[in-house]
Amino acid sequence: MLDQVDEARLTALPPDQRAEKLAAQARVFLDRGLLLEAERLYLTAMASDDRIPAVHAGLAEVRERTGDKADARKEARTSLELMPSVPAYLVMCRLDLGAGHLDEASYDAGEALKIEPANKTAKELQLQVEARRGAKR
């Protein structure tokens, strides 16, 4: 019964608000490691409005976690084109770091820190980049 009420409320929302709400719900599943449910909600959100940066950033993280690096990069770039965000920069940073693109990874971490200077993950990634640079010298 509650699911039907929630569905009715979502359906009544304009597409952009519906997509935002679905992206927020998907984020909860993603944070719990429930990738299939998060992916389903992100895709539903994208069908409502594909211009929501959080939808693309979240889907980028789902793709990253499932090993689809090319699509993760594509979704993160789309998110960043729509609006720069910490989650999208973090995905790009991890992908660049994993690929050995240290300059790009450093840039991504730096951009994330410009948006959110206290972000712990961005700081940790920046340290990883510096450590890898030091190891290469």
Tens-place pLDDT, residues 90-118: 999 999 999 999 999 999 999 999 999 99
* 45 and 101 part of one domain: no
Residue 55 CB coordination number (10 Å) = 28
Reply yes or no on whether the pLDDT at 2 is more than 50: no
DSSP per-residue letters across 89-121? HHHHHHHHHHTT-HHHHHHHHHHHHHH-TT-HH
Is residue 79 assigned to a domain? no
Is residue 41 assigned to a domain? yes
Q: What's the mean per-residue pLDDT of the chain?
A: 93
Half-sphere exposure (Cβ direction) of 133: Cα atoms closer than 13 Å: 12
DSSP state of 66: T
Is residue 121 assigned to a domain? yes
Our count of domains for the chain comes to 2
* 60 and 91 part of one domain: no
For residue 32, the model assigns a pLDDT of 97
Percent of the chain's residues with pLDDT above 70? 94
Look up the domain containing 100 and give its range: 84-137
Residue 74 CB coordination number (10 Å) = 15
Is residue 90 assigned to a domain? yes
**How far is residue 77's CA from residue 7's CA, in Å, rounded to a whole number?**
30
Residue 22 makes CB contacts below 8 A (sequence gap 6+) with 10, 41, 42, 44, 45, 48, 55
For residue 98, the model assigns a pLDDT of 96
Tens-place pLDDT, residues 12-21: 888 999 999 9
| CATH number of the structural domain spanning residue 41 | 1.25.40
Burial class (CB in 10 A: 0-12, 13-18, 19+), 18: buried
Residue type present at position 95: L
* 36 and 92 part of one domain: no
Residue 82 makes CB contacts below 8 A (sequence gap 6+) with 51, 52, 53, 56
Is residue 76 assigned to a domain? no
Is residue 37 assigned to a domain? yes
The pTM (predicted TM-score) of the whole model is 0.90
* 11 and 63 part of one domain: yes
